[in-house]
């Protein structure tokens, strides 16, 4: 079962994805990593992405969707599912994603603004990412996220499951696992279909 995991910057998406991949062998596609890899490549597109990200702004739909599309073109082991971290961020991206893969569930990590800022600044001490080390940029990223998140929530209203992202990584992961196994319904029996 493919899963999309969304939430604000520093909501814990990466940590939860790491644990899900370790426990369930998902094929992880992290939109942020795709952008950072392209940014550090020194390509023309990478330089364009750098200017956008370093100012705390969201990358245009076309750029990130193209990077995601190329990832879905790579071979995947039969029976393996995708875990998508940080994409889609806009309704247009969500529509594009639906054209690429089936998305039965969207996990939405909810955290307070204070937690978001604190986590990003802490991450900035070790990540070396300029967008994590500057509180003003973090606040800008948070505002951009809030503006774009409402249409996404509406678009995915039937698939979305909100998770309290406050607390330790272990506490949040337990909530994710409990929710996945409680809310995800088994596939219909073939007798129900015929």
Using 50, 70 and 90 to split pLDDT, how confident is the model at 182? Answer: confident
pLDDT at 184 over 70: no
Output the pLDDT for position 137: 87
pLDDT, mean of residues 62-76: 94
DSSP assignments along 45-84, one per residue? HHHHHHHHHHTTPPPPHHHHHHHHHHHHTS---TT--EEE
Q: How far is CA 83 from CA 45, 47, 157, in A?
A: 25, 27, 19
pTM score: 0.84
Measured distance CA(52)–CA(55) in Å, rounded: 5
Checking if the pLDDT of 145 tops 90, the result is no
First to last CA, the chain: 23
pLDDT for position 188? 46
């Amino acid at each position: 079962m493919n899963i999309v995991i969304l939430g604000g910057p520093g909501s814990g998406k990466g940590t939860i994805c790491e644990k899900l991949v370790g426990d369930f062998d998902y094929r992880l596609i992290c939109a942020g990593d795709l952008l950072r890899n392209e940014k550090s490549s020194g390509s023309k597109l990478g330089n364009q992405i750098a200017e956008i990200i370093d100012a705390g702004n969201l990358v245009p739909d076309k750029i990130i969707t193209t990077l995601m599309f190329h990832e879905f073109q790579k071979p995947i082991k039969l029976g393996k599912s995708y875990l998508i971290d940080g994409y889609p961020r806009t309704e247009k991206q969500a529509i594009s994603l639906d054209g690429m893969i089936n998305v039965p569930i969207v996990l939405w990590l909810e955290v307070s603004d204070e937690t978001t800022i604190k986590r990003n600044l802490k991450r900035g001490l070790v990540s070396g990412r300029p967008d994590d080390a500057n509180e003003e940029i973090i606040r800008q990223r948070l505002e951009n996220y809030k503006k774009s998140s409402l249409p996404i929530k509406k678009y995915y209203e039937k698939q979305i499951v909100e998770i309290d992202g406050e607390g330790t990584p272990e506490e949040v992961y337990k909530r994710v696992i409990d929710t996945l196994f409680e809310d995800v319904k088994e596939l219909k029996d073939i007798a129900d279909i015929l």
